Chains A and B, each alone.
Chain A
Amino acid sequence: MKASLTLGKVSSFLGLGFFTTLKDLFTGKLEKEDFKNLLRKFIVPLASILLFFLLWHLGAKSLYNIEAEYKIEKALQDQGQAAADALTACIASGESSCQPNTLPSPSQVWDSFQSLLRDHNIISADKAAFVEKTAALNAKRVAAGKDAIVYTGRPSFVDQIFRSLQTVFAGFLLALFIAVPLGIFIGLSPTLKSAFNWFIQIFKPVSPVVWYLLVFMIVKTLLIGSTDDSSFTISFISVGLCSMWATLVNTAMGVSTVDKDYINVAKVLKLGTFQKIFKVVLPSSLPLIFTGLKITLSVAWMVLIAIELLAQSPGLGLFVWEEFQNGANDSNAKIIVAMFVIGIIGFLLDRLMLTIQNWVSFDKQDAI
Chain B
Amino acid sequence: MSIITENTITKNVLENGKFPSNDVMLDLNDLKKVYPTPKGDYVVLEHLNLQIRKEEFVTIIGHSGCGKTTMLSMIAGLNPISGGNISVLGKHIKGPGPDRGVIFQSPSLMPWMTSLQNVLLGVNQVFPHATKAQRNDIAKYYLQKVGLEDAFHKKASELSQGMQQRVGIARAFAIKPKVLLLDEPFGMLDSLTRGELQDILIEIWNKEKITAVMITHDVDEAIFLADRVVMMTSGPRAKIGDVLDIDFKRPRTRKSVLEHDDYYKYRKHLIDFLEH
Residues of A within 8 A of B (CB): 259, 261-262, 264-265, 267-271, 275, 279-280, 283-284, 286, 362-364
Contacts and interface: CB of A to CB of B under 8 A. Distances in A.
Contact of A268 (B96, B155, B157): B96
A262 B113 CA distance: 12
B76 A268 contact: yes
Given A362-B155, A362-B157, A270 B96 contact: yes
B110 A283 contact: yes
Interface in B190-240: none
Interface in B82-115: 95-98, 100-102, 104, 106, 108, 110-113
A262 B110 contact: yes
B34 interface: no
Given A267-B95, A270-B125, A284-B112, 5 more contacts: A268-B77, A269-B126, A275-B125, A283-B113, A363-B111
Nearest to B76: A268
A269 B100 CA distance: 9
Contacts of A283: 110, 112-113
Interface string B8-36: 00000000000000000000000000000
Nearest to A360: B112
Interface of B: 76-78, 95-98, 100-102, 104, 106, 108, 110-113, 121-122, 125-126, 155, 157, 175
Given A261-B106, A279-B121, A268 B112 contact: no
B106 A269 contact: no
B110 A271 contact: no
Contact of B125 (A261, A262, A264, A269): A269
Contact of A269 (B111, B122, B155, B157): B122
A364 B154 CA distance: 14
Given A267-B78, A268-B76, A279 B110 contact: yes
A271 B124 CA distance: 10
> Which of B76, B77, B111: most chain A Cβ within 10 A?
B111
Contacts of B112: 283-284, 286, 362
Contacts of B106: 261
A262 B108 contact: yes
A16 B100 CA distance: 53
A271 B125 contact: yes
29 contacts: A261-B106, A262-B108, A264-B96, A264-B104, A265-B102, A265-B108, A265-B110, A265-B121, A267-B78, A267-B96, A268-B76, A268-B96, A268-B98, A268-B102, A269-B98, A269-B121, A269-B175, A270-B96, A270-B98, A279-B110, A280-B110, A283-B110, A283-B113, A284-B110, A286-B112, A362-B111, A362-B157, A363-B157, A364-B157
